[in-house]
Amino acid sequence: MNQLIVKTKNLNFSYTKTRKDIEDLGLEVPKGSIYGFLGPNGSGKSTTIRLILGLLKKQSGNVSLFNKEHTAKTRLENLDKIGALIENPSLYGHLNAVENLKIAANYRNGISLERINEVLEIVKLTHAKKKKVKAYSLGMKQRLGLAVSLLSNPELVILDEPTNGLDPKGIIEMRTLIKELNEQYGTTIFISSHLLSEIEKTCTHVGIIRDGKMLYQDTVKALKQSKGKKMMVDLEVDKFIDAMTVLEELNKENTSLTDEFIQIEVESKTEITTVIDALRAKNIAVYQVSIKNNLEELFLSLTEN
Amino acid sequence: MTAITHYTTSTVNEFQKLKRTFAFWLTIISALFIPIIYLLYYLIKYKQLIPTEGVNPWDKFIVEQIRAAVPLLVPMFIVLVTSLIVQIEHKSSGLKHLFALPIPKWSIYFGKLTAVVCTIIIAYTLFFIFMVSVGYIVGMIHEELKFVSFTPNYFENIKLLFRSFIAILGIVGLQFWLSFRMKNFIIPLGIGTVLIVTGLIVYRAEEAVYFPYAYNMLSLFPIDKDLDSLIWFPTVSIYSLGYFLLFSLIGYIDINRKNIT
Ligand SMILES: Nc1ncnc2c1ncn2[C@@H]1O[C@H](COP(=O)(O)OP(=O)(O)OP(=O)(O)O)[C@@H](O)[C@H]1O
Ligand SMILES: [Mg+2]
């Protein structure tokens, strides 16, 4: 479990001289993990993936894949074990799904026609396999791109924002698929996303990047614990001012930025009842109480300046 | 896989990508263009075109068509078809996928270049087949044109086309590199067009032997003093092959170093 499938050390890269797009990035993806690579738009997720694959030339630092340094010598051997979907999928619009998969299969060794039909089945595109890809919808293209990356049964699957353009059903299917691949074949999966909720539901490990720098990297479990047991709760009430007085008596501070909700921090769920009771005792109507996703909060606090 | 299988796989794949593309149709249309004009010309004006007794009508018929094609049609076809074939990859943002596959980068570059060169060979072959077919068609409609009584001078005609083909390779090397490098296909197209026109203006100059865009015109004329007319490899052919190798190699080295974004 401690073996690292992807490891970068002090990785640096800039597209232009004026700024650093990736700075001293250290990424560690353990074997058999589902690694969520999280960051806001423009933080350098796609750039990091391109560096890992060797599409971009790193300015300094190193990249190891499967415990081997990724150099010109080991390039083909490493890439043979990787299936990748980088940003929008690379597909030939004038050809149909099967023709696209055939071309992708030819570039690798020993991929049978059966396997092509199998991946089409996995991504649920069998019904549209003879349709030209330019007539595909965004989500269908994304699915086909995923099929291409799965073709060779790779040890490592790299997916850059795979749920981009997928409908809710598609997102859930993608999640299930990723978990299945991971559990049944032990495939290591590296997913980038700007949605924490997505990562939280599927991943075992998480790395958070901002402005090309790694802010946090650990297991999802550790991330959840790091915030402690404290919870943020949103309250919707009718008498805002009165409610504030009640809460002050309970030593609760409103941290909300809007007037619509009151936001307080509680130690445990039982404390929520205490707060509601106190409010109700003063005849303040409580319309809504919701526990905020504290990971979302953490993500925002980490990625905001 | 060995180097050879990498190369053949890549080349075969390139041909599969050409299926149903405009590049494919452009090849056929370009090869048909002048033969169709000559078909109409010989059908309409056949009375003025009846050859004098004992003269082979094929020589004039075919050489005229080659002469009509060489200055503009052939080089423009080369520039267009090269851009179009490489554009298939840019349009599908395919390079980032190809360069992350377990295949050497050179096999991608040279596989695609091979597909381009083969397409050009196919265009020349079709052009020749269409010219001969048109000759026989009009010959059968108007027997007095004597196309049926004589046979085309295959050897000399093919030699002329071969010289033109070799002379064009220098441009192919450069245009292919430009097209591969730039996602926007207007740039190689613009550069190519400007240089072709330049070639038409300067080809009479002595220094034109160093300018590959003039070679196709030069391939028609024996400006080198080697021989009067038709040798297989005139000086420009040698220079053209030199440019082809040079640009292909520089192009590959450049692409190999380039960041794929
Ligand atoms: N081709 C390019 N040329 C110059 N700068 C680029 C290029 N591509 C990306 N950048 C810059 O690099 C930084 C990181 O971009 P990157 O595409 O890696 O972000 P990302 O995390 O993938 O974002 P998103 O969530 O929007 O996909 C950004 O500041 C971006 O402006
Ligand atoms: Mg991105």
In tens, the pLDDT along B33-81 reads 999 999 999 999 988 888 888 888 998 899 999 999 988 999 999 999 9
Cβ contact A188:A33 at 8 Å: yes
Work out the minimum CA distance from A263 to partner chain B, whole angstroms: 44
CB contacts of A92 in chain B (<8 Å) are: 17, 88, 92, 94
Residue A135 has pLDDT above 90, yes or no: yes
What residue ranges in chain A does DSSP mark as E strands? Answer: 4-13, 22-30, 34-38, 60-65, 68-69, 82-85, 156-160, 188-193, 205-210, 213-219, 231-237, 262-266, 286-291
Cβ contact A4:A217 at 8 Å: no
Q: What is the pLDDT at residue B224?
A: 46
Of B227 and B91, more confident: B91
Share of chain A above pLDDT 90, in %: 52
Which residue on chain A is closest to B108 by alpha carbon? Answer: A107
Ligand 1 binding pocket includes A19 (Cβ within 6 Å):
no
The sign of the torsion formed by the CA atoms of A153, A156, A160, A162 equals positive
Candidates B10, B21, B100; nearest CB to A55 = B100
**Among the listed ranges A56-70, A157-171, A214-228, B171-185, which one has the minimum average pLDDT value?**
A214-228
- B interface test, pick of A49, A107, A151, A164 with most B CB neighbours within 10 Å: A107
How large is the ipTM? 0.89
SS3 assignment, position A17? coil
CA atoms within 13 A on the CB side of A167: 3
CA of A40 to the centre of ligand 2 (A): 9
Share of chain A above pLDDT 70, in %: 94
Global confidence as pTM: 0.88
Q: What is the pLDDT at residue A163?
A: 87
- Quick one: average pLDDT of B191-203? 94
Cβ contact B143:B216 at 8 Å: no
Q: Domain of residue B32: give its range.
A: 3-257
Residue B246 has pLDDT above 50, yes or no: yes
Of A219 and A224, more confident: A219
Residue A91 has pLDDT above 90, yes or no: yes
3-state secondary structure B87-130: HHHHHCCCHHHHCCCCCCHHHHHHHHHHHHHHHHHHHHHHHHHH
Residue A1 has pLDDT above 70, yes or no: no
pLDDT digit string, tens, across residues A254-284: 877 777 888 888 888 888 898 899 889 989 8
Across the beta sheet with A82-85, the strand order is A82-85, A156-160, A188-193, A34-38, A205-210, A213-219
What is the C-alpha separation between B87 and B177, in angstroms, rounded?
12
Q: What is the pLDDT at residue A292?
A: 75
Interface list for B 99-128 with A (CB within 8 A) = 99-104
**Among the listed ranges A266-270, B129-133, B187-191, which one has the minimum average pLDDT value?**
A266-270
CATH topology of domain A229-303: Alpha-Beta Plaits (3.30.70)
**Where are the domains positioned within chain A?**
4-225, 229-303
Q: What is the pLDDT at residue A293?
A: 67
CA of B136 to the centre of ligand 1 (A): 61
Q: What is the pLDDT at residue A258?
A: 77
Interface list for B 40-69 with A (CB within 8 A) = none
SS3 assignment, position A55? coil
Candidates A57, A102, A148; nearest CB to B259 = A57
**Among the listed ranges A208-222, A229-243, B246-260, which one has the minimum average pLDDT value?**
A229-243
Candidates A53, A103, A148; nearest CB to B17 = A103
Interface list for B 155-214 with A (CB within 8 A) = none
For residue B224, what are its two tokens? 């080198």
pLDDT digit string, tens, across residues A26-42: 999 999 999 999 998 99
Q: What is the pLDDT at residue A252?
A: 83
Residue B194 has pLDDT above 80, yes or no: yes
Whether CATH 3.40.50.720 fits A4-225: no
CA of A90 to the centre of ligand 1 (A): 18
Residue B223 binned pLDDT confidence (cut-offs 50, 70, 90)? very low
**Among the listed ranges A255-259, A270-274, B24-28, B136-140, which one has the minimum average pLDDT value?**
A255-259
Phi, psi angles (nearest 5°) of residue A96: -90, 180
Share of chain B above pLDDT 90, in %: 72
Number of domains making up chain B: 1
